[in-house]
Structure 1
Amino acid sequence: MSSDNRVTGLTSSQVQERIRDGLTNKLPKVPTRTFAQILRANLFTRFNAINAVLAVLVIIAGSPKNALFSGVIITNTIIGIIQEVRAKRTIEKLSLLNVAHAKVLRDGKEVSINIEEIVQDDVLVLVPGTQLLADAKVMVDSEFEVDEAMLTGEADPVHKKEEDDLLSGSFIVNGSGYARVIKVGAETYSSKIANEAKKFKRINSELLSAVNKILKVIMMLIIPVGGLLVFTQIYFTHRTWQEAIISAAAGIVGMVPEGLVLLTSLTFVVGIVRLSKWKTLVQELPATEVLARVDTLCLDKTGTITEGRLNLVDVRVLNGIAGNEVDEIMQGVAHGFPSTNPTQEAILEKYKSESNLEIINKIPFSSHRKWSALEFRNKGSWIFGAPEMILKDKYEDIRNIVEEEAAKGRRVLLLAKFTEGTLSEELAGKVEAVAMFLIEDVIREEAPKTLEYFRKEGVNIKIISGDNPVTVSSVAKRAGVHGAENYIDARTLPEDIDKLEDIDKLADIVENTTVFGRVTPHQKKLLVNSLKSKGHVVAMTGDGVNDVLALKEADCGIAMASGSDAAKAVSQLVLLESNFSALPEVVLEGRRMINNLEGVSELYLNKTVYSTLLSILFVILMVPYPFTPINITLIGSIAIGIPSFFLALAPNKERVKTGYLKRIMIVSLTNGGVLSLSTMGMFMYAYSTGIKVTQASTLGVMVAGGISLVVLLRVSRPLSKLKIALITSMVFLFSLAFIIPLGRYIFSLELASIKYSVYAIVIVILSYPIISGIIGLLKKIYYKK
């Protein structure tokens, strides 16, 4: 490395030498499951094991056709493997698009490289929002404020000066400069942080938690109920052991919700594939579920509803200062820091040439102070930033001008001269306003249409920004934000909340305000928490390090790929093309998946509940169980399996509500209760009249299948032409099984006299109002609570 490595960094030959020595920042691959792990996870499940044992027993009992239910299990397993492999490939591909990059000095030039191309002794170029991708030391003339929360849990930024260590995984909050890499690869924190940001997660969610609870109960019931059913069928019904095994297998097969397990596990992995169409990387799988429930969306103005690009509209010189002097000073200010944020870029468009002024002291920009300062030899000290923060009490002198421009949607930045004091962060001295710089945001072309979509969908929009609230309000109006005139200056909000009444007061303010200006990063977090305290499900979009705290606190954090590494690392979703217009599609996809899953879950749990209750009832009655496995296959395929495939793909724009487990149990227990009692009643009536067991069983299948189709009709609401066609087709196919001889042979059906069939059809028809009435009553009782 050159002796002046602060300026030149490593040479190309030095980089190649370190690569040969293995001193690179090589990271482990994205930790998705291997194909072998996917195969094992989908094939070797408890439910598959139960079904495999039952299939073998049924075949041994001499009825191979009754083992057809195992074919459904094999199909489900294959589908599960295919879908998860697709998801694996998609997430790996998207993770490559989202790979972290670093800016380094090489051969005296600043270049951008990906994380694995960093070598030991590289000189990192660090600006606010940069994530440290390798351990480094601060170099001469550089100072930073660093967020080490992801490493230490400490929320307050840590000040770092020359020779201090910077740990990979931390973020630059303030300050710009250089750092030399001292550790790479496995010796740093970077691989752990990168993996945690990208890995294929299966974390808990309301949906997964509810399904797991249901499965635990089912597993607890299957063995004792199944064992008792086998015992009673052999010892109390005077049937052969083969007939008893086949009947008991039917009861146990019906209790296993294998389709629900498949559907739930695939919901999230399919979401990855679907959302990839919109260039959206899902970093935590249940994010789709959370996003589907979102009713409040917090947007950071810059980079979200605006392009993040600014235009310098005008420069207004104050107090008779010569314009050429202002230009000379701004030349030095514009080139005084290595950072190139959008504000600087707008200023640099006017002041492109390097400055000859010598800097002897400087204070970098801080999101808390909202200004930066430079002291030039022979030219004095100058401050540049938010007028109200610089002038303090004297701000009233220019307030009208600032607010007039802010009302036009322009940001006003002030250049001021600092005299009669020592330049420090306290600005304890005389400040004289010199010039105002008028800067305007460029609104994203797609923003108005996207914001209108959310308004129509009942999602509240909150604009949170560090800029002047009047300016933000004006920009929000131009973008079409409903209620943008309701704005507030966040400096009037409490910073520290330790009393219940203060929390409630803030929550009320946040509830009734649309635009928040001059918001600090800590306040952004408070605003998100306040919305959550009101029962809202909150999503937050952001692209800067100042958004990190709020992104971490939100129910769903959404980062723009063009934003900082910090924002992307803590978010659940990353919009890889920084395309705000993709958000409606992402929300729509989440709603479609979760709402449809809830409806389809009702079908699967209906079968589990009625099979469990029927098994218990027939253990108590000690009479032949009414079904064989092939009967269960018929009912499950026609009323559940085939239609659930189509219903899961149907459009559904309704916002998802909490309370999934209670809602699904209310309807499933009602459906299953009515169905099991109706089936038992029909079978026992027919059986008691002396007709053959196979005929009584056929009537039981007719009632169970018919009421299952009634449940399908309820789940399909609101009905559409396609849904009506689907239900009609399923009714027709179910009827064919009874009408044509081949159908009766395959599904072991034997019709009794027409009188019994009429009774069965009447029971099926009456089940609709009975189920609707009971569910309506139970929901009233539940919601009153």
Structure 2
Amino acid sequence: MKLTLLKEFFAGFLRTRHFARHFRRLALLESMTDATVSREVPPTLAQTLVAAANDHPQGLMERLGAHADGLSEAQVQALREKFGLNEVEHEQPLPWWTHLWHCYKNPFNLLLTLLALISWLTDDLKAATVIFSMVVLSTLLRFWQEAKSNKAADALKAMVSNTATVMRRDFAADTSPVFGRFHASATQVQGAQRIELPIRQLVPGDLIVLSAGDMIPADCRVLSAKDLFVSQAAMTGESMPVEKFVRQIDPSATNPLDLDNILFMGTNVVSGAATAVVLATGNNTYFGALAQRVSATDRAPTSFQHGVNKVSWLLIRFMFVMAPLVLFINGFTKGDWMEALLFALSIAVGLTPEMLPMIVTSTLAKGAVFLSRKKVIVKRLDAIQNFGAMDVLCTDKTGTLTQDKIFLARHVDVWGEESEDVLEMAYLNSYYQTGLKNLLDVAVLEHVEIDRELQVGTAFQKVDEIPFDFNRRRMSVVVVEQDHPHLLICKGAVEEVLSVCTRVRHGEAEEPLTDELLARIRQVTAAFNEEGLRVVAVAARSMEAGDDVYSLADEQDLTLIGYVAFLDPPKESTAPALRALAEHGVAVKVLTGDNELVTAKICREVGLEQQGLLLGNDIERMSDKQLAKAIETTNVFAKLTPSHKERIVRLLKANGHVVGFMGDGINDAPALRTADIGISVDSAVDIAKEAADIILLEKSLMVLEEGVLEGRRTFANMLKYIKMTASSNFGNVFSVLVASAFIPFLPMLPMHLLVQNLLYDISQIAIPFDNVDEDLLRKPQRWQPADVGRFMFFFGPISSIFDITTFALMWYVFDANTPDHQTLFQSGWFVVGLLTQTLIVHMIRTPKIPFLQSRAAMPLMVMTAIIMAVGIFLPMGPLAHYFKLQALPSLYFVFLPVILLAYMALTQAVKGFYSRRFGWQ
């Protein structure tokens, strides 16, 4: 019977070997770029999307029950009851039983279960009980900690849900607990209300309004579009955005991803504007179908996970070498191979870092809870340790170093004189543009007096729009005033607007744009830039009436009217935050699309000393090898495109840095995805928040310093456990090898080793809450498996010296030198072994003198004191017989403090040498 169960266990173990990683997560959209995966959707879904693409808009609207002014509340409620919330099923929390299984199935728990099963099959029920207890304890602690952390994270994530602009009739804000507090404003638009709603509230038939930076919240059919470019890279792997149209150009297309007027959930708008009708939500979307097929796919392991895995396998390899060695030495010297086998199994259990998953999870979760109190959402627990390892922080300028409140400081003509005409032109452009939501436009539109003077809403009508994109860096609107010609008004970056201008307005007259005028214009704008003002050029052109559709080709032969200049002052927290990061070994590099003069001004104001400057044009001409070298000595990069930012971050990582990137715009999303840790803010565009690992709910950059320090505390506490476990386990095994070779009986029974190991593991539970020395927080920290191995070989044998001293004490002083007196010998080593193993917690947690120069947190002090008391109580109390121990003589407790003090003194001396030679961590 037992042999049959053993075979079944091994079969199950082999089946689960491919699922041994600690965390199984829903695959991100990035994992869907493989064509063989991305094409695997139900045929009915593909047919539905193709049919919707080729359907007449009016007929499609009727079939969906949609309305030109949006759905009514009654329709929405009925559709929501039918289709549910707009959420992909696999994004829901795991059922508790699935979560419990995920907490159990790590390599160490599987190994311990195997050892417990072997102990049971060999009739060692006590050993099997102790081992199984350790597995249950580790699993339940991790389950409880993760459940608590996930609950807190879910509550925080609800505060930053992405939204969509939706058209609704007779809308009433839903404040039910299901949807959370509604806080978006509603705007009346032609009998409908344009409102911002969490994307989970969308239903099929909803009309949505899209602009640059928006995430597509569901599968949609385009109803109107203007220069609409959508990034489908996550779906198809294509790096270039795809233009979407109102009509399907190729009616014979059958692949959903080739449809010209279908938008897919999870992709994002790069530029342009559109209205669209929702076709499908949640699991019924293309993304929902793909998510169900790739739900078993792992994310690529991070550097943090690689480090944990390397250390884990270092200890496991050590176990696979030492356990057989103990088996053969005891088998040959004692002659009892079954007893030797049980003893070797106990050694294997003692060498297994079974608490590592729980310690890692607990420390990361504690960090997440700490940061949540600072109003920081941690979307991925591993990001906390990356915070501590980060040695380079790349940051955008606008909205991150500077305030996200921009003021219109100047509106001047080409020569720098105040001009109301320029402000009027800029106002018309900002009022009628519907593309990229821009703080500059908000600042212009605050001048409501222009609205009254020009009677913008009645005297002018919008004809068309040429939306903003990051290549042109400008946008245009075309308006008409009663019977006047059409007027194209363009505003954007100075150089990009100048590139399409041929004339300059001088007073009431116009003159050609000559090289001399061009030089003078650049002097004027440079002077504004040096004042820290961001300059936007305004140009115009009269167009013959009659054409209602305009394109990029019409942005030519413009007349430069003047400039509007904006002041974007730095945040108050920027300068102290940058100083704090520098003090903690984090280099800050500014990556911005703005020009170099404004950037230099801001850098001076925040106290960031400029070290070299690279412009986007310089980067274009450099190879990866040249750029990788240049970025090491440069900390200011200006006039960058999104691809430039991503390239810089990628090469910094290739140079061996742990890179953080902080940004809040569409142009920051590629870099946020590439960085080791992406940081964004609650007010960022949807795609930036989605790409980030950490989201700041408050604008203070001082949170960054606190995040870095918390990441380093997290790492330091994880490393404590690994160092303690590695060194104490090595010392125990070394002592066992020595004792086994010279003592005619086992120096400690398998039960003793298991109980000792269980008590030691319990003492480690408080490590995530321990204090960390300030000295250990000054520099970035990373996983160094080689250092762990070296540390183990340095500090492990120290305990062996005092173990051997204890052997001699028990052998010669207390005459425990025959098999008849082995219980006394084993009891004496049990106490010394447990006490030294527990004291190592305090010795190795700091390079300083423990208890005097560096004191552990109270939970750890209390826990270790309790375990040491239990260790003495077991042989001295009424349970001694059950554990095959016996009471120790009084003289033993005279020698015990001497052994412990000598052990601490020698460990402290070795610590000093090791720290001077190799550094502490």
Instruction: Indicate whether the TM-score tops 0.5.
Output: yes
Match of 2:673 in 1: 552
| Correspondence for 1:387 | 494
Alpha-carbon deviations, 1:247-304, whole Å to 9, x = none?
5665344223223342124333444333332333333331112111011111212222
Output one character per residue of 1:654-685: Cα deviation in whole Å (capped at 9) or x when no partner. 43433421111111233224434653575378
Of 564, 570, 581 in structure 2, the residue corresponding to residue 454 of structure 1 is: 581
User: Structure 1, unaligned stretches of length 5 or more?
Assistant: none
3-state SS of paired residue (1:307) = coil
- Of 434-443 and 257-266, more deviation after overlay is shown by 257-266
Q: Which residue of 363, 388, 397 maps to 2:466?
A: 363
Match of 2:722 in 1: 601
Q: Which of 487, 491, 495 is 2:616 aligned to? A: 491
CA shift, 1:763, in A, is 6.7
How much does 1:753 deviate?
6.7
Match among 3, 25, 28 for residue 89 of structure 2: 28
The yes-or-no answer on 1:713 pairing with 2:820 is no
Q: Say yes or no: does 1:503 pair with 2:630.
A: no
Quick check: 1:334–1:347 contact (8 Å CA) kept in 2? yes
Corresponding residue to 2:876 among 722, 727, 742? 742
Q: Please state how far the C-alpha of 1:83 moved relative to its aligned partner.
A: 0.7
Pick one of 36, 41, 49 that aligns with 2:113.
49
Alpha carbons of structure 1 residues 469 and 189: separation in structure 2 relative to 1, 3 Å: farther
Distance 1:453 1:21, change over 3 A: same
Rounded to whole Å, the distance in 2 between the matches of 1:304 and 1:442 is 11
Asked whether the 8 Å contact 1:387–1:395 carries over to 2, the reply is no
* Pairwise CA distance, 1:8: 2.9
Shift of 1:103: 0.5
Instruction: Indicate the residue corresponding to 2:907 in structure 1.
Output: 768
> Could you say which residue in structure 1 is the equivalent of 2:379?
283
Q: What's the counterpart of residue 723 of structure 1?
A: 856
2:563 aligned residue: 436
Deviation at 1:326, TM superposition (A): 3.9
What does residue range 527-542 of structure 1 map to in structure 2 within 5 Å?
527-542=648-663
Scaled by the length of structure 1, the TM-score of the pair is 0.84
Bigger drift between 264-273 and 381-390 goes to 264-273
TM-superposed CA distance for 1:221, in Å, is 6.8
Shift of the alpha carbon at 1:32? 3.3
Listed one character per residue, the Cα deviations across residues 293-323 of structure 1 (whole Å, up to 9, x for unaligned) are: 0111112122222332211122113479995
Deviation at 1:539, TM superposition (A): 0.4
Gap change, CA 1:758 and 1:134, over 3 Å in 2:
closer
Q: 1:127 aligns with which of 211, 214, 217?
A: 211
Q: TM-score with structure 2 length normalisation?
A: 0.73
Paired residue for 2:745?
Answer: 624
Residue 807 (structure 2) aligns with: 683
Q: Distance in 2 between matches of 1:194 and 1:471?
A: 44
Measured in 2, the distance between the counterparts of 1:246 and 1:322 equals 91
Distance 1:460 1:53, change over 3 A: same
Contact 2:760 2:834 in 1 (8 A): yes
Q: How does 1:555-574 map to 2 (within 5 A)?
A: 555-574=676-695
How far apart, CA to CA, are the structure 2 residues paired with 1:365 and 1:730?
A: 63
| 1:226 to 1:199, Cα distance in 2 relative to 1, 3 A | closer
Percent sequence identity over matched residues? 21
Quick one: which of 101, 110, 121 aligns to 1:40? 101
Which one-letter code corresponds to 1:369 in the other structure? R
For residues 216-255 of structure 1, the aligned pairs below 5 Å read 216=313, 236-237=333-334, 250-255=346-351
Matches within 5 A, 1:336-355: 336-339=432-435, 340-350=437-447, 351-352=450-451, 353-354=456-457
Matched, 1:296 2:392: yes
Q: Decide whether the 8 Å contact of 1:299 with 1:542 is kept in 2.
A: yes
What does 1:578-617 correspond to in 2, within 5 Å?
Answer: 580-615=701-736
Work out whether residues 420 and 430 of structure 1, in 8 Å CA contact, stay in contact via their aligned partners in 2: no
Report the alpha carbon displacement of residue 449 of structure 1 after superposing the two structures with TM: 3.3
Q: What is the aligned residue count?
A: 773
Measured at CA, do residues 8 and 475 of structure 1 come closer, stay the same or move farther in structure 2, by a change above 3 Å?
farther
Partner of 2:393, secondary structure, is strand
Call closer, same or farther: CA 1:202–1:238 in 2, change over 3 Å. Answer: same
The answer to whether the 8 Å contact 2:333/2:740 transfers is: no
| Alpha-carbon distance in 1 for matches of 2:737, 2:156 | 50
| Structure 1 residue 547 displacement after superposition | 0.3
Kindly provide the amino acid, as one letter, of the partner of residue 722 in structure 1: R
Aligned to 2:182: none
From the superposition, tell whether residues 39 and 202 of structure 1 become closer, same or farther in structure 2 (CA, over 3 Å): farther
1:482 is the counterpart of 2:608 = yes
User: 1:593, CA displacement in angstroms?
Assistant: 0.7
Name the residue aligned to 1:670: 794
Shift of 1:344: 1.0
Between 447-456 and 19-28, the greater mean CA deviation after superposition: 19-28
Q: Quote the Cα distance in structure 2 between the aligned partners of 1:291 and 1:111.
A: 37
Equivalent-residue separation in structure 1 for 2:442 and 2:305 (angstroms) = 47
For the structure 1 residues 181 and 710, does the alpha-carbon distance in structure 2 shift closer, same or farther, using more than 3 Å as the test? Answer: closer
What is the CA distance between 1:194 and its match in structure 2?
A: 9.4
Deviations 1:11-56 (A, max 9, x none): 4455456446538735326343321123334457325525755886
Give the structure 2 partner of residue 98 of structure 1.
160
Look up the equivalent residue of 1:298 and give its one-letter code.
C
- The equivalent position to 1:402 in structure 2, one of 525, 528, 543, is 525
Return the alpha-carbon distance in structure 1 between the equivalents of residues 457 and 607 of structure 2. Answer: 41
Q: SS at the partner of 2:441?
A: helix
